[in-house]
Amino acid sequence: MAYCGVPEIKTFLLFVATALAEILGCYLPWLWLRQGHSAWLLLPAAASLALFAWLLTLHPDASGRVYAAYGGVYVGMALVWLWLVDGIQPSRWDLLGAAVTLAGMSIIAFAPRAG
């Protein structure tokens, strides 16, 4: 992965898009199963999860490192989803937890690598 500047921003935005695709792909079946919405939601859910898997392949680093770093961004995006979609404001503890996971994500994703 990149070291500093614009490449990091691109990497982070790619993680954000990946997280949104995964969250949407899981949220739509939840709407169907838990709230009685149409089973037709499974079609865009499947497409969203396929997009999620494809987006993970666009990262230039080893898959295990990408998945580990992605997890930190996912936590932050899930809290944004909680706030914007579910209408629940994250607590200070939620925000602290997200900050810790994003710090860990940054260490994993942007640390200098030999090679």
Q: Is the residue at 63 inside a domain? A: yes
Q: What is the pTM of this model?
A: 0.81
In order along its 115 residues, the chain shows pLDDT tens digits of 444 567 778 888 898 999 999 999 999 999 999 999 999 999 999 999 999 999 988 877 767 777 888 888 899 999 999 999 999 999 999 999 999 998 998 888 788 877 6
The CA distance from 2 to 5, in Å, is 8
Q: Is the residue at 59 inside a domain? A: yes
The CA distance from 18 to 53, in Å, is 8
Of residues 32, 30, 28, the one with CA closest to residue 52: 28
Residue 88: give the domain boundaries: 6-110
Q: How far is CA 75 from the centre of its chain?
A: 7
Q: Is the residue at 72 inside a domain? A: yes
Q: Is the residue at 80 inside a domain? A: yes
Domain count, the chain: 1
- Interacting residues of 4 by C-beta distance below 8 A, sequence separation 6+: 110
